[in-house]
Amino acid sequence: MKLTKYEHACMVIEKADVSLVIDPGGYTMPLTDLMDVVAVVITHEHGDHWTAEQLTRIKERNPKVRFFGPSGVAAAAPDFEIEIVRAGDTVTVEPFTLRFFGEKHAVIHESIPLVDNVGVLVNDELYYAGDSYTVPGVSVPVLAAPVGAPWLKIGEAMDYVLAVKPRQAFPVHEAVLSQIGRNLGNDRLRNATEQGGGEFVVLEAGESLEL
């Protein structure tokens, strides 16, 4: 499989000439050229993880694409057929097997309601928890680790990486940071990854990683 990092939280995974898209949101440049997309996973309803415009662009070029997300996404996107997934669900959309973990977004502030959120493990290779610190409790070869967010304290993000203990990790959810902030956060996540015996790789938008 090949993973390509797009801006912020969006990723595209390719295998056997088809693709899976994760979190095509508003902080990602318009996805105008994605073909052979079989599925889209939306971890939660916030606009930096999905927009109607991004889903429409994908569906226009891939009319048979399937959309997956928690119930909050289905409620927020009534114009799209969202297949609801929950913690413990496993879905196969060849050649991808998707295992889902967790139920809620990380706490931003007690005054802000928690929304539904799922993490996804793709083909037992790549794990991304959306906006949460959900530890899947299974082996994680490659982790997409959040580096910046209104809900994120870098020490908690480090503890999350230490708990998951991936073989390899790369940073996501970085659009809210300056370059100085990204560098600082990446250094901290690199340290946590290496403490667990893993390798930390920084991917810029458009760069890829073989899984």
If one counts the domains in the chain, the total is: 1
Instruction: Express each pLDDT in 171-196 by its tens digit.
Output: 999 999 999 999 999 999 999 999 99
Query: Which domain range does residue 136 map to?
Result: 2-210
Name the pLDDT band for 79 (thresholds 50, 70, 90).
very high
Mean pLDDT of the chain: 98
Q: Are 198 and 166 in contact (CB under 8 A)?
A: yes
* Residue 81: exposure state from Cβ atoms within 10 A (0-12, 13-18, ≥19): exposed
Token pair for 97: 């097997």
What CA–CA distance (Å, rounded) separates 5 from 144?
10
What CA–CA distance (Å, rounded) separates 191 from 117?
27
What CA–CA distance (Å, rounded) separates 46 from 188?
26
Mean pLDDT over 112-128 rounds to 97
What CA–CA distance (Å, rounded) separates 188 from 38?
35
pLDDT confidence of residue 118: 98
Q: Are 173 and 146 in contact (CB under 8 A)?
A: yes
pLDDT confidence of residue 112: 96
What CA–CA distance (Å, rounded) separates 11 from 49?
11
Cα 172–Cα 174–Cα 176 angle in degrees, nearest 5? 150
Name the pLDDT band for 167 (thresholds 50, 70, 90).
very high
What CA–CA distance (Å, rounded) separates 177 from 172?
11
In this prediction the pTM is: 0.97
pLDDT confidence of residue 177: 98
Distances (CA, A) of 158 to 77, 78, 145, 163, 183: 33, 36, 9, 9, 14
pLDDT confidence of residue 45: 98
pLDDT confidence of residue 197: 97
Name the pLDDT band for 128 (thresholds 50, 70, 90).
very high
Distances (CA, A) of 138 to 22, 57, 81: 20, 34, 30
pLDDT confidence of residue 158: 98
Q: What are phi and psi of 143, to 5 degrees?
A: -115, 130
Instruction: Express each pLDDT in 13-49 by its tens digit.
Output: 999 999 999 999 999 999 999 999 999 999 999 999 9
pLDDT confidence of residue 6: 98
**CATH number, position 143:** 3.60.15.10
